[in-house]
Amino acid sequence: MFVIDPHMHTCLSPCAVLDMHPAGLVDAAIQAGLDAIAVCDHNSAENVAAVERAGRTAGMAVIAGMEITSEEEAHILALLPSVEAALELQSKIYRSLPGRNDERSFGPQVIANEHAEVLGFDEHLLSGATTLSVDRVVAAIHDVQGLAVASHVDRERFGIIGQLGMIPQGLALDALEISFRTNFPDGRAAFAPKGEFPIVCSSDAHEPKEVGKAVTFLLLAEPTLDELRRAFADKDGRAILGGGRPMEDLALHILDLAQNSIEAGATAIEIDLLEYPSEDRLIVEVRDNGRGMDPRNLARATDPFYTTRTTRKVGMGLSLLSEAARAAGGKVEIDSKPGFGSCVRAIFQYHHIDRAPVGDMETTLMVLLVSHPDLDIRFKHCVESEAFELNAHVLRAAGANPAAPDGLAALRKAIRKGEASLGRPGVSPRLHS
């Protein structure tokens, strides 16, 4: 399973900060706990090779890309098989990109190497539009064996639906991207209710602290374009498991808690998500049979600078959850003893204006069930008196097993049906300005 942020800009994009030089961007991606990134500057790929080199040094997979502005001012992401393909596409884009940049108006377009050194300034008007229609942009991307993804379809300006009213019939897009502004399940319901297109979620970061703000979870053998292509097509056992905002969505906080449990050696995890709007209460509880924590570690568990993790520089999960609960008039309680597992309970005021959105439990469950095929997971989601309960063993026995043919689809269907039974209202497309 790979956590990918498939859309971010380097300092080459006039709207991005200088700190987004290739090495700085890769460092931010590592800090955010990502497995792979795609680098997509506006109408140019001058910095892609340097980001790839920085990634190779630091152990971060980098997918080449570009964000192309069509003649209609719709942004289309190109996810590309190689640096060479990116440069080939770039020469075609440059031939169709009129104007010269004015740094004072739009900002500098810095070409940098992987050692944070400035090599020069690009003079094309990268913030401008090409003279290529969306259809020709998509064709140009496919000509170099890339994937064409409509950028931030939830945005009025520069999103294809905002610019063109609807997705043009017959346009051969490989996926739609939603921004951090939209809750993942809402995006799916609004823009691809019948699964017309796969949906990915990205940060569209222009500065380091935004990297990984929204991510996509993918089931791949390795983070390459060919694997992405198969995941978008939902074939050969590759799939998009979901997406969301790791720092914000409660569903992804729950995923983080469950992953903590797994790292603490848990073989069984029980997750409760209890929503009681009428009582103004929302409770998240994760119980496990892992190693548990001694009192000293327990006291430090919500300290943002403390982690027992050694694999990644993240692990701020509990402190972030604690912060999120406090911001919503609630708190986090941890009950744990060495040898007796842990129980983390977060309580929120349901109607508090700062209460984080629930996000997408389908994503959380898919990631957990697919990544840990032997884990005993029990999940209970209540909205008032309605309840959806899931038992991983029962599901697997019934054929919703990622190892079985069509097992992924069966799993997704079972989760989606259960979540839908909680009777949330449908969502109509909403464009953010």
Partner 1 sequence: MTVAEATEKIQGTVVAGAASAAMREVRGGYASDLLSDTMGNSRDGDLWVTMQKHVNIVAVAHLKGLAGIVVVNGRQPEEATVARAEEEQIPIISTGLPAFDVVGILYSQGVRGRRQA
* Sites of contact with partner 1 (CB under 8 A): 71-73, 133-134, 156-157, 161-166, 168, 431
- Burial zone of 165 (CB within 10 Å; 0-12 exposed, 13-18 middle, 19+ buried): exposed
Q: How far is the CB of 140 from partner 1 (least distance, A)?
A: 16
Compute the C-alpha angle 407/412/414, nearest 5°.
Answer: 95
Min dist CB 72 to partner 1, Å, is 5
State the minimum distance, in angstroms, from the CB of residue 191 to partner 1: 13
Report which of 75, 276, 285 is spatially closest to residue 164, judged by C-alpha positions.
Answer: 75
Residue number, 141 or 284, with CB nearest to partner 1:
141
> Tokens 């319901």 sit at which residue?
189
- Confirm if 366 and 411 have CB atoms less than 8 A apart: yes
CA distances 94 to 12, 42, 90, 146, 186, Å, are 15, 11, 6, 17, 36
Which of 37, 40, 67, 41 shows the shortest CA–CA distance to 55? Answer: 37
Helices (H) and strands (E) in the chain, counts: 14, 17
- Residue 105 C-beta: closest distance to partner 1, Å: 20
* Closer CB to partner 1, 108 or 429, in the complex: 429
- Kindly state the greatest CA–CA separation across the chain: 67
DSSP secondary structure, 325-339, as one string = HHHTT-EEEEEE-TT
Q: Which is nearer to partner 1, 237 or 429 (CB)?
A: 429
Question: CB of residue 171 vs partner 1: minimum separation in angstroms?
Answer: 10
CB of 162 to partner 1, least distance (A): 5
Kindly tell me which of 163 and 224 has the beta carbon lying closer to partner 1.
163
β-bridge partners, 271: 286, 379
Q: Are 348 and 333 in contact (CB under 8 A)?
A: no
Q: What's the closest the beta carbon of residue 158 comes to partner 1, in angstroms?
A: 10
Q: How far is the CB of 156 from partner 1 (least distance, A)?
A: 6
**Cβ 167 to partner 1 shortest distance, Å:** 9
Least distance to partner 1, CB of residue 154, Å: 11
- Please say which residue, 61 or 129, places its beta carbon nearer to partner 1: 129
41 burial (CB, 10 Å; 0-12 / 13-18 / 19+) is: buried
Closer residue to partner 1 in complex, CB, 87/164: 164
Closer residue to partner 1 (CB): 71 or 335: 71
CB-based contacts of 26: which residues, under 8 Å, 6+ apart?
A: 37, 51, 54, 55, 58, 60, 62
User: Which of 105/433 has CB closer to partner 1?
Assistant: 433
Residue (72 or 234) nearer to partner 1, CB: 72
Identify whether the C-beta of residue 48 lies closer than 8 Å to the C-beta of residue 39. Answer: yes
Residue among 310 and 428 whose Cβ is closer to partner 1 = 428
HEC secondary structure over 222-267: CCCHHHHHHHHCCCCCCEEEEEECCCCCHHHHHHHHHHHHHHCCCC
Alpha helices in 286-433 (DSSP H): 295-300, 317-327, 361-371, 392-397, 407-420
CA gyration radius for the chain?
Answer: 22
DSSP tag of 311: S
Nearer to partner 1, 133 or 145 (CB): 133
Half-sphere exposure of 221 (CA within 13 A, CB side): 7
**Shortest distance in whole angstroms from residue 243 CB to partner 1:** 23
